[in-house]
Chain A
C-alpha cells in the first residue's frame, strides 16, 4: 500500500500550491458573488418597473448573458477588450468582470421573480391597515422577498464558485488547473494521482460551498422567527 496516489499531495510544494490555487478561486468567486448580489438586487428592482423601454433593455441584457456561454464571455473580455479598445486587463480582473456580469443578470432575474411573487393582496392589506408605502416594503414585502430569495441566491453563488474553473483558459491558475498540473507532472511516476487529486479538489470545493449553504440555512431559520 505504499504506492498510494495520495503521496503526490505531499511531494514538494504540491499541497501549498493547491491551497494557493484554492485561494485564487475563493478570491475571484466571492468578489464576483458579492458584486453580483448587490447589483443584482438593484437590477431586479429595476426589472419590475413597468416602462417598456427599461423592460426591453434589461430583458436583452439578461437573455444575452444567459445564452452566451461563460467561456465566450471570458474570451470576449480578456482578448476582445485588448483587440477592440487596446485595454489590457489581467486574467483575474477579466474573470471578476465576467462573473459579475453573469451573476448580476441571474441574480436580477431571481430578485425580479421574488418581488413579483408577492401577491397584490399583501400590498393592499398593508394599505388597508394604513401603512405608508415605505412601511409596506420594510415590514411586508422585503422580509418575504428575502426569504424566497435566499435559497435561490445561494444556489447561484455555489454555481458561480464552481464555474470559476473556466478561468484557467484565460491563464489564471486556480485550484483545478493546479490539480491538472500536478496530475500531468506525475502521470508516469504515479498513474493513480488523478483520482486522488480530483478527490482532494472535490473536498476543497466542498469546504468553500458548505459554509455558504450553512449560512443560508441559518439565515432562513433566523428570519422565519421574525
Chain B
C-alpha cells in the first residue's frame, strides 16, 4: 500500500513539474514572440521600452559583472548611455566570443557591444557601426632591457601567440626578429618571466593590464602595427538602428564621451601605463 501511495505521489509531482515547465516555456515564448529571426526596428525597441545588448560578462575591464551582480565595464558604460538616449530600459545578455555573430543573426540581441573587433569576415554577416575603440599591438619587456621601438628587436627573441595578429605582423615586417611561439597566454607569459625571450607582443590592452600586475615589466611600445577597430554591431540590414547608432557615436564624440568612459572604467586598470588616445576613438574617427 505504502509503495503504491509513494508511486502515486511521484507521478503527481512529475506531472505538475512538467506542466509547470510547459507553462514557463509558453510564457517565455510570448515574451519574445516578436523577435523571431528578424531584428527589431528602432520603433519596436522604443515601443517595447527595452533594448537588449549582448556583452561579455567575464572580460574585465570591458564587460564584466561586479560583486553585486551588476554589469560594468567600458562596453557596458556605453550601452547604458545608448539606452538612456533611446529612452528605454536595457537588458544585458552574456555572450561568448564564439557566439557573438550568431546572437545577431538570430536576433536574440539588438546590439552586440562585446569588444567586437571589425574584420572583413564578420562584416559579411553583421553590420558594424562606427568604431568606439581601437587596438593595436603592444610589446612588453623587462625594465632592465626595455624595448621601446620595434627596430631594437632585430636579432632578439620575441614571444608571440600562434594565430594572433602579432605573429603575422612581425613575420611580414620584421623578418630579422626571432619568434618564439606559444598557444596560450599563460605559457607565453611564463616564458617571458623565465627570460626565454626578450619581449612579448600581443594586443596592447592585454599586455598593458598584465604589465600592471607584474612589477619589473613595462609596455615599451603601446601602439604598433595595423590598427584594429572595435565597434558596435547590429543585424545585417537593420539600417535604421545602425544609422541611429552612427549618429549617436558622432554626437557623443562632441562631448568627449568615450574619454569619460575610459576614465571611469579603463583608467583604474591601466593607470598611467596607457595613453587613452591610443585606445579611445571619439566620434567614430580613427586618427
Report A's interface with B, CB cutoff 8 A.
8, 11-14, 17, 31, 34-35, 38, 75, 79, 82-83, 86-90, 92-93, 96, 168-171, 173, 177, 180-188, 191
Contacts and interface: CB of A to CB of B under 8 A. Distances in A.
Q: Which of A82, A87, A88, A89 has the most CB of B within 10 A?
A: A88
24 contacts: A8-B67, A12-B66, A12-B67, A13-B68, A75-B102, A79-B106, A82-B108, A88-B29, A88-B32, A88-B37, A88-B106, A89-B28, A93-B28, A96-B21, A169-B98, A169-B99, A171-B99, A177-B58, A177-B94, A184-B60, A185-B67, A186-B67, A188-B212, A191-B213
Given A12-B67, A169-B99, A177-B94, A88 B25 contact: no
A96 B36 CA distance: 20
B256 interface: no
Contacts of B69: 12-13, 17
Contacts of A187: 60
Contacts of A38: 14
A79 B102 contact: yes
B60 A88 contact: no
Contact of A184 (B59, B68, B105): B59
B17 interface: yes
B12 interface: no
B25 A87 contact: no
Contacts, number: 103
Given A169-B99, A170-B99, A171-B95, A82 B64 contact: no
A38 B32 CA distance: 30
Nearest to A12: B67
B60 A185 contact: yes
Interface residues of B, number: 40
Contact of A87 (B36, B64, B213): B36
Interface of B: 14, 17-18, 21, 24-25, 28-29, 32-33, 35-37, 57-60, 64-69, 72, 93-96, 98-99, 102-103, 105-108, 209, 212-213, 269
Contacts of B24: 93
Q: Which of B29, B33, B37, B107 has the most CB of A within 10 A?
A: B37
Contacts of A83: 37, 105-106
B32 A90 contact: yes
Given A88-B33, A93-B28, A185 B99 contact: no
Given A34-B17, A169-B96, A177-B57, 8 more contacts: A34-B14, A38-B14, A79-B99, A83-B106, A88-B107, A182-B67, A185-B65, A185-B66
B71 to A, nearest CB: 10
